[in-house]
Amino acid sequence: MMKKNRANSIMGMAFFGPALVLLTVFLFIPMILTVIYSFTDYFALSPATTHFVGLENFGKIFKDELFMQSFGNTVKFVLIIVPLQCLGALGLALLINKVTYCKKYFKVAFFVPVVMSLAVVSTLWMQIYSPEGILNTVLTNMGFDPQPFIHSTDQALPSIAIMSAWQGMGYQMIIFLGGLQAINPALYEAAEMDHASAWKKFKDITLPELKPLCVFVFITVTIGAFRMIVQPMVMTGGGPSNSTYTIVYDIYETGTVNWEIGLASAMAVVFVIFVVILTIIQNVLTKDKEDKHENKKK
Amino acid sequence: MKKVICLAAALAVAAAALTGCSRSVKPGEVAGFDEGEQYLSIWVHSIEDTPEGQSYRKSVEAFNEKFNGTYFADIEFIPRNDSGGGYSDKVNASVLSGGLPDVLTVDGPNIAAYAANGIIQPLAELSEEERGIYLDSILEQGTFNDKLYALGAMESSVGLYYNKAILREAGIEVPKAGQPWSFSEFLEILEKLKPTMDGKNGYPLDMTFPVGEASIYYFAPFIWSNGGELVSDDGLTVDGYFNSDTNVETMKYFRDLVDKKYMSSVPISNLFESGRAAFKFDGAWEVNTIYTSYPDIELGVAPYIVGDDWNGERYTPTGSWAFAASSGSKNIEGATELVKWMSGVESGLDLYRQTKSLPSTYEAYNYITDFTDDENYKALYEQLRDFGHPRPKTPAYPQLSSSFQQSLENIAISGMGAAEQLKKSTERINAKLERYTRT
């Protein structure tokens, strides 16, 4: 018996080993190093002069106007994109679920942007948003003034959020679609017997049945949105006047362009703590409701 | 216990993978490296399979032939991605692990930071004659704290291009080289052109303040020619330089250009190329673009404009990648020889043929008919030769560059207070300089 266990564990390690090594090298060690570096003044060009500086980096971050601004921008971005992308995905899923012809075509069409590289999508939308681009031409023909979009401090972030929502929502749409198809048709049949309106059916059957999926989509979209960097990097370089500069962009610039690995690590630590706290809050809030729901059922 | 062993083993594997190896190469191990030769390693920032990479390869092969029996140079290509990573990551990692080559390429504005942090060392003494072959701007770019660290094979320049047809129509005479328009004169010309350009649904000036290196590269000359500086001579002080009253005035000039609608506040692509702008500031490559893709535009190069009180000092844009000897090199004589070769006349000529980047030596220009026969290329070369001024030399250059762009954008486009913005930027740059100034 002992022997078999041992053989099993060796086999287990053999399968698990390569993954463990890779995870250790590329995930765990960098994570540990980031935390260690965040307490030092590690400078990429002069690693030999690294000192332990305690909490100095963290003090600097919270006094840094640009970091605070990028923090604000990121939160603003999340607030715009999360409802947009979640509701958009749900809407698309409901529509496609209803459509009886060309269903495959719509599914593919809405999913294609997800497969495309973000850099490519960003470049494409730069053309759409450009001062003499498609969107402005359409607007002018309809009698509206042309808009600066990504070249204005007010419109740049929402413009990027709309583009990102369009790019990403296909993925959540597929998830919702799976959920919709898993709902027992008998529920709808029963509702019809009771002459329930379409809205009632949606509110009392579809939504509750999709609830667990909604929570999942909500949390993944939120975390994804916090990590936003590619779009402003390609489209605006963080401008105009830093209005699209995000936390991850700031971390990247501080670490690789200004060579301040210590400071960048501290920013990363602050960012991770923030996202973790937020996720816990989200979890608690949504779980609570779920439990209540369960209780009601009972 | 087992867990600890597992973890230790994993760490050891990781460490081995991360440190890499910096062993010395023995004769015969690399094709062409013979007994009695000194081995020199060199890193370049480009992809081998590009015209630029091929040109470097060719230069190294020529070096090995010329110095057969004395030196052997071994080139390694480390591609640099668009955002500047890749190559610099490798250099930074090698600073930590100690695997720097004898010679490496450094972008012009980064020379100060690399020198101040001891990543590169001063080259061995060059004779007056050896120094004399290079354009002043190249020597100036490679010098930090009075020591020569780097020499480049490439130079660059930015032109104030104009549409000859539009200016002819408006009856505007373009001044000769060395007698540029002053800021006020240029404003008057833009004012004169405004109605014509409005009629063409365009602007007198095709100009933007993009995020990235272009803004400081194109527009710092406005600061210098107007009597301002961005940083002190030793590169360690910005207070009183970056935020000087003169610079506040210069920044307001940019805002004037936007406020009076001489330029668009949002970037419109191909304004100049489509004949809807009379002037444009752009790199030397624009000449080739116009010649090949927009043959209908009659292109001219006007002298870069200057502040009203300019007294002839150097001010126009320059700078490009250069070769330097790393502090890891124990053979500074050999490394210097290689740097001289890689930045020499032959290498520069070949690079021009492959990539159209301007050469760094006087002699090379004599062999290229573009610079003797074509008035526009000739004007760009003469401007570079007579007025070229390298970008600010400070170890905090990346912050200086992005702060300059942000100030420019905030002041000119968003209309924020000039003095206040420059003061804010000065504080940011100062924070980055702290590590060099604290004693």
The 10 Å CB-count burial string (b at 16+, else e) for B127-144 is: eeeeeebbbbbbbbbbbb
**pLDDT value at position A2?**
60
Which residues in chain A are closer than 8 Å to B324, comparing Cβ atoms?
A: none
State the total domains in chain B: 2
Distance from CA of B218 to the nearest CA of A (A): 17
CA distance A65 to chain B (A): 10
Euclidean distance between CA atoms B235 and B252, whole angstroms: 25
Q: State whether B197 and B279 are in the same domain.
A: yes
B276 and B302, same domain (yes or no): yes
What percent of chain B lies above the pLDDT cut of 90? 82
Q: Nearest 5°: phi and psi at B12?
A: -65, -45
d(CA B393, CA B142): 10
- pLDDT tens-digit series, residues B370-385: 999 999 999 999 999 9
In a domain, B414, yes or no: yes
What tens digit of pLDDT does each residue of B199-208 get?
999 999 999 9
* Residues B325, B305 within the same domain: no
Q: Are residues B34 and B113 in the same domain?
A: yes
Residues B299 and B187 in one domain: yes
Q: Which of B370, B387, B404 is the endpoint of a domain?
A: B387
Question: Nearest-5° angle of CA A128, CA A132, CA A137?
Answer: 75
Note whether B152 and B116 are same-domain residues. yes
- Which tokens hold the place of A22? 């890779």
Query: d(Cα B236, Cα B255) in Å, to the nearest integer?
Result: 28
B148 with B49, same domain: the answer is yes
Which residue, among A9, A25, A127, A135, would best test binding to B if mutated, counting the most B CBs under 10 Å from its CB? A25
Hey, what are B275's tokens? 């004949």
Q: What are the structural domains, with CATH classification, of chain A? A: 70-260 (1.10.3720.10)
Q: Is residue B190 part of a domain?
A: yes
Q: How large is the average pLDDT for residues B257-278?
A: 94
> Cα A278 vs. chain centroid, distance in angstroms?
13
Closest approach of B252 to chain A, Cα-based (Å): 17
What does the block give as tokens for B297? 């535009």
Tokens describing residue B65: 């032939």
Based on the fold, state whether residues B50 and B188 are members of the same structural domain. no
- Residues B282 and B424 both lie in one domain: yes
For residue A146, whether the previous peptide bond is cis, meaning omega lies within 30 degrees of 0, is no
Phi and psi (nearest 5°) for A109? -60, -45
Q: Which residues pair with B205 in a beta bridge?
A: B279
pLDDT > 70? residue B83 = no
pLDDT at A293: 55
Q: Does B409 touch chain A (CB under 8 A)?
A: yes
Give me the helices (H) in chain A, please. Answer: 2-23, 29-37, 56-63, 65-98, 103-115, 118-129, 134-141, 156-182, 185-193, 198-201, 207-226, 230-235, 247-252, 261-297
Tokens of A27: 């995930």
Q: Do A41 and B435 touch (CB under 8 A)?
A: yes
| Whether B352 and B404 share a structural domain | no
Q: What is the Cα gyration radius of chain A? A: 24
In a domain, B22, yes or no: no
Residue of B80, B117, B258 to mutate, interface with A, max A Cβ within 10 Å: B117
| Domain that includes residue B76, residue range | 29-156+319-387
One pLDDT digit (tens) per residue for chain A, 298 residues: 566 778 888 888 889 889 999 999 999 999 999 999 999 999 988 888 888 999 999 999 999 989 999 999 999 999 999 999 999 999 999 999 888 888 889 889 999 999 999 999 999 999 999 998 999 999 999 999 989 999 999 999 999 999 999 999 999 999 999 999 999 989 999 998 988 888 898 989 999 999 889 888 998 999 999 999 999 999 998 878 899 999 999 999 999 888 899 999 999 999 999 999 988 988 888 775 555 555 555 4
The DSSP symbol for A150 reads G
ipTM confidence score = 0.84
- SS3 of chain B: CHHHHHHHHHHHHHHHHHHCCCCCCCCCCCCCCCCCCEEEEEEECCCCCCHHHHHHHHHHHHHHHHCCCCEEEEEEECCCCCCCCCHHHHHHHHHHHCCCCCEEEEEHHHHHHHHHCCCEECCCCCCHHHHHCECHHHHHHHEECCEECEECCEECCEEEEEEHHHHHHHCCCCCCCCCCCEHHHHHHHHHHHHHHHHHCCCEEEECCCCCCCHHHHHHHHHHHHCCCCCCCCCCCCCCCCCCCHHHHHHHHHHHHHHHCCCCCCCCCCCCCCCCCEEEEEEECHHHHHHHHHCCCCCEEEECCCECCCCCCCCCECCCCEEEEEECCCCCHHHHHHHHHHHCCHHHHHHHHHHHCCEECEHHHHHHCHHHHHCHHHHHHHHHHHHHECCCCCCCCHHHHHHHHHHHHHHHHHCCCCHHHHHHHHHHHHHHHHHHHHCC
A52 bridge partner residues: A40
Nearest to A94 by CA among A82, A81, A109, A106: A106
All residues of chain B having their beta carbon less than 8 Å from the beta carbon of residue A260 are 432
Is residue A237 classed as helix, strand or coil in its secondary structure? coil
Mutate to test the interface with B, among A23, A46, A129, A136 (most CBs of B within 10 A): A46
B404 chain-A contacts, CB cut-off 8 A: none
Distances (CA, A) of B330 to B24, B56, B272, B325, B326: 12, 23, 51, 10, 9
Residues of B within 8 A of A238 (CB-CB) are 211
Q: Does residue B73 form part of some domain?
A: yes
Can you tell me the mean pLDDT for B327-347? 95
Give the phi and the psi of residue A166 in degrees, each rounded to 5: -60, -45
DSSP 8-state code for residue A145 = P
Candidate from B14, B85, B435 with C-beta closest to A24: B14
Contact B304/B383 with Cβ under 8 angstroms?
Answer: yes
Average pLDDT rounded to a whole number, residues B158-165: 96
Choose the closest CB to B85 out of A20, A43, A256.
A256
- Tell me the C-alpha distance between B122 and B100, whole Å: 15
CB B205 within 8 A of CB B263: yes
Tell me whether B212 touches chain A (CB under 8 Å): yes
Does B7 reside within a domain? no
Q: Verify whether the Cβ–Cβ distance A21 to B85 is below 8 Å.
A: no
Summarised one tens digit per residue, pLDDT across range B50-72 is: 999 999 999 999 999 999 999 99
Q: Which two tokens stand for residue B26?
A: 């023995």
pLDDT band at B6 (very low <50, low <70, confident <90, very high): very low
What pLDDT band is residue B12 in, cutting at 50, 70 and 90?
very low
Residue B13 lies in a domain: no
Same domain flag for B174 and B270: yes
Q: Is the distance from CB of B182 to CB of B308 less than 8 angstroms?
A: yes
* Interface list for chain A against chain B, based on CB atoms closer than 8 Å: 20-21, 24-25, 29, 41, 43-47, 60, 65-66, 130-132, 148, 151-153, 233, 236-242, 253, 256-260
Q: What is the mean pLDDT of residues B249-262?
A: 96
Which pLDDT score, from 0 to 100, does residue A296 have? 52
Both B181 and B296 in one domain: the answer is yes
Q: Measuring CA to CA, how many Å separate B410 from each of A67, A72, A181, A251?
A: 17, 18, 52, 22
Nearest-5° Cα angle at B217, B213 to B221: 150
Distances (CA, A) of A124 to A80, A115, B211, B266: 21, 14, 19, 18
**B18, part of any domain:** no
Within a domain: residue B16?
A: no
Task: Say which CATH number the domain at B58 has.
Answer: 3.40.190.10
* CB-CB under 8 Å, B95 with A46: yes
